[in-house]
């Protein structure tokens, strides 16, 4: 059987990839305690247009496994998320060139913009899965004025330059919280779960960083003046993985914080997830609207 018939979601593939792909570049966070009331509005009690399922299977031979993601309850969205780079067969949405895209572009260390972008794809040799003569991988490229953080369907983000972002800890560990202000609102981002043993690693700048393993993880955000907290993520277990905050800022122009969070639960899996705010009858919610799951280096 050809190797590409193995599911991109099978843990047999996850453990087969080299452990050198483990991403441990995480930062120590701030301290403290957590509000306890959590909004049930974030849970899908009725059909949610941001989570309308398209067909679940993207790859032949998909195998079932225990996904430890408790919330969001589904990662099938009507919106797409893509990034530049190379991907295994089935990881990137089809028909990229036929869709309209906008992207978050990092133009300098503290300057971001949202532009209309025109990504292109081409088939490439997948060094992990392809046999000789095959080209089942997909390379996504785009011409841009800077580093493309992510791209999503046009209409979700508000186009513009000089987008104000928030400098947050890369990781909020269980038992820690971070209060911050943004566009006149006060937020508290906090995590619950089980924090394991500490370890040290050297980051790309040669600095020694103190980090922790995580065994169970839930991430919440509390908006001052709103009674209940909003659940962003709930993982019942993690395999040498650390969810990280990749971007925080107002992406849709409503004055409320939005996020790009890597909701990974396995060391060899990346799952950047786009969270966008909405305001219904005076109550703010922040929900996942798009994601991209990929495996391997």
Please give the chain's pLDDT, 297 residues, in tens: 333 334 443 444 444 444 444 443 333 344 444 444 565 433 343 344 344 333 333 333 343 458 999 999 999 999 999 999 999 999 999 999 999 999 999 988 888 999 999 999 999 999 999 999 999 999 999 987 789 999 999 999 999 988 999 999 999 999 999 999 999 999 999 999 999 999 998 887 888 988 999 999 999 999 999 999 999 999 999 999 999 999 999 999 999 999 999 999 999 999 999 999 998 888 999 999 999 999 985
pLDDT recorded at residue 257: 97
pLDDT recorded at residue 51: 43
Cis amide linkage into residue 141, ω under 30° from 0: no
Residue 263: left (phi > 0), alpha (psi -120 to 50), or beta?
A: alpha
Instruction: Please name which of 65, 72, 68 lies closest in space to residue 51, comparing C-alpha atoms.
Output: 72
Helix (H, G, I), strand (E, B) or coil at 113: strand
Distance CA 62, CA 71 (A): 22
Sheet containing 120-124: give its strands across: 85-87, 137-141, 120-124
295 near 88, Cβ under 8 Å? Answer: yes
Distance CA 275, CA 284 (A): 13
pLDDT recorded at residue 27: 38
pLDDT recorded at residue 3: 38
pLDDT recorded at residue 246: 97
pLDDT recorded at residue 65: 53
pLDDT recorded at residue 37: 57
């Amino acid at each position: 059987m050809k190797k590409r018939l193995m599911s991109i979601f099978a843990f047999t593939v996850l453990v087969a990839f080299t452990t050198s792909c483990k991403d441990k570049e995480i930062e120590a966070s701030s301290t403290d305690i957590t509000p306890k009331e959590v909004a049930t509005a974030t849970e899908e009690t009725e059909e949610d247009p941001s989570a309308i399922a398209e067909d679940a299977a993207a790859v032949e031979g998909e195998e079932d496994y225990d996904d430890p993601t408790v919330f969001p309850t589904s990662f099938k969205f009507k919106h797409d998320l893509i990034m530049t780079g190379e991907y295994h067969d089935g990881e990137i949405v089809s028909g990229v060139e036929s869709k309209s895209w906008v992207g978050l572009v990092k133009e300098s260390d503290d300057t971001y913009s949202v532009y209309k972008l025109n990504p292109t794809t081409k088939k490439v040799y997948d060094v992990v899965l392809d046999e000789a003569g095959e080209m089942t991988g997909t390379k996504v490229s785009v011409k841009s004025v800077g580093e493309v953080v992510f791209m999503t369907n046009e209409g979700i983000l508000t186009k513009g330059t000089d987008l104000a972002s928030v400098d947050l800890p890369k990781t909020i560990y269980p038992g820690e919280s971070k209060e911050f202000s943004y566009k006149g609102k006060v937020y508290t981002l906090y995590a619950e779960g089980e924090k394991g043993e500490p370890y040290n690693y050297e980051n790309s700048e040669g600095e020694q960083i103190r980090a922790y393993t995580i065994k169970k993880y839930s991430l919440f955000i509390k908006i001052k003046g709103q009674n209940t907290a909003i659940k962003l993520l709930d993982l019942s277990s993690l395999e040498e993985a650390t969810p990280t905050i990749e971007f925080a800022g107002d992406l849709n122009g409503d004055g409320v914080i939005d996020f790009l969070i890597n909701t990974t639960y396995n060391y060899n899996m990346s799952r950047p997830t786009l969270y966008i705010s909405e305001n219904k009858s005076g109550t703010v919610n922040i929900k996942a609207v798009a994601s991209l799951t990929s495996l391997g280096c």
